[in-house]
């Protein structure tokens, strides 16, 4: 009688564990980047998600062969700021998304975005300060960076970037 109770308990626990694993958020199974995107999407999938995205006139390549810009979205409004969104692909799979705005952006706007990102990802795990400000978060395997760099004469650049490795099928096991 005791052996069958233990067996039944272990079976129920295994079923519960499998159910919980199946209910994991998509962010754990597929590395989320900027909302609406996840690492490993194809150019066509990103194009379907953002029909206004187009091939950039002057594509940018990330250092260390981390990706090449294949799509660009001219305007995405986030928290009252109009960003240009650049989609970078490694081996034709999405690996990096960068939102950038250049204009009259005071440092207090950087702080506004830091607070918004803290609300979503918690406290940043690193901060670099020199002639610019950059903070970094890590959500599972996705690295989120917020940076603000003054360009002079009241002009600055504000960038929010999302980078994640492309999940291979074997990584999902």
pLDDT tens column, 71-84: 999 999 999 899 99
**Rounded distance, CA 93 to CA 39, Å?**
7
Strand partners, 162: 97, 144
Q: What is the pLDDT of residue 25?
A: 42
Q: What is the pLDDT of residue 171?
A: 53
Q: Which residue has the higher pLDDT, 125 or 4?
A: 125
Domain 31-172 has CATH 1.10.10: no
Specify the pTM.
Answer: 0.77
Residues 6+ positions from 84 with CB-CB distance below 8 Å: 72, 73, 74, 75, 76, 99, 100, 101
The domain spans of the chain are 1-27, 31-172
pLDDT tens column, 157-172: 999 999 998 766 545 4
């Amino acid at each position: 009688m005791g052996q069958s109770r233990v067996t039944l308990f272990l079976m129920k626990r295994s079923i519960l564990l499998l159910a919980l694993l199946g209910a994991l958020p998509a962010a754990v199974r597929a590395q989320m980047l900027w909302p609406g995107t996840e690492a490993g999407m194809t150019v066509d999938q990103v194009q379907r998600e953002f029909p206004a995205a187009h091939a950039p006139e002057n594509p940018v390549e990330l250092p260390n062969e981390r990706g090449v810009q294949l799509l660009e979205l001219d305007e995405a409004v986030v928290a009252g700021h109009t960003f240009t969104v650049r989609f970078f692909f490694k081996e034709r799979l999405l690996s990096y998304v960068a939102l950038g705005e250049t204009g009259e952006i005071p440092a207090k706007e950087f702080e506004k975005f830091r607070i918004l990102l803290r609300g979503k990802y918690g406290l940043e795990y690193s901060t670099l300060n020199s002639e610019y400000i950059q903070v970094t978060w890590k959500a599972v395997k996705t690295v989120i960076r917020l940076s603000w760099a003054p360009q002079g004469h009241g002009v600055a650049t504000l960038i929010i970037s999302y980078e994640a490795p492309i999940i291979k099928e074997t990584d999902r096991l």
